[in-house]
Amino acid sequence: MASKPRPGSRRSKALSDVGMSKMRVAKYKIGQVVKHRLYPFRGVVFDIDPVFNNTEEWWQSIPAEIRPHKDQPFYHLFAENEDTEYVAYVSEQNLLPDTSGTPIRHPDVAEVFEQDDSGSYRPRNNQMH
């Protein structure tokens, strides 16, 4: 049985902000390669928040016409575009599966994941909780 979040914890706040009844199962999994629906970048999922769990300032910095809803999974990605590698925080509604088969070049990927013969990423044994 899962433990209840401690009152006042980040998880407790995130769950109470949208109510547990609205939570959805994440569409993408850790190790999956995804791409942004609107912007030219892609990445591998390394963590998932069940609902928005970043600062209000960060959320408000997104233009209102494309600002995502908070009551959906948000994904932490080892991301890359044509020019650079970085960490991205992206809503589920803005992600699509990346089926290109091209390896992710972000330097942290090799520390956290191993790539199997099919090109999929799985967490290294020392990274499992």
What confidence tens digit (pLDDT) does each residue in 34-76 have? 999 999 999 999 999 999 999 999 999 999 999 999 999 999 9
Best CATH choice for the domain 10-127 from the list 2.30.30.390, 1.10.357.10, 3.10.180.10, 3.40.50.300: 2.30.30.390
Whole-number percent of the chain with pLDDT over 70: 79
Q: How confident is the model at residue 119 (pLDDT cuts 50, 70, 90)?
A: confident
pLDDT of 92 > 60? The answer is yes
Burial 67-92 (b: 16+ CB within 10 A, else e): eeebebbbbbbbbbeeeebeebbbbb
pLDDT of 7 > 80? The answer is no
Burial 46-61 (b: 16+ CB within 10 A, else e): beebbbbbeeeeeeee
Ramachandran assignment for 119, one of left (phi > 0), alpha (psi -120 to 50 degrees), beta (any other): left
| pTM of the predicted model as reported, rounded to 2 decimal places | 0.79
* Residue 1 DSSP SS3: coil
Token pair, residue 48, equals 């998932």
pLDDT of 90 > 90? The answer is yes
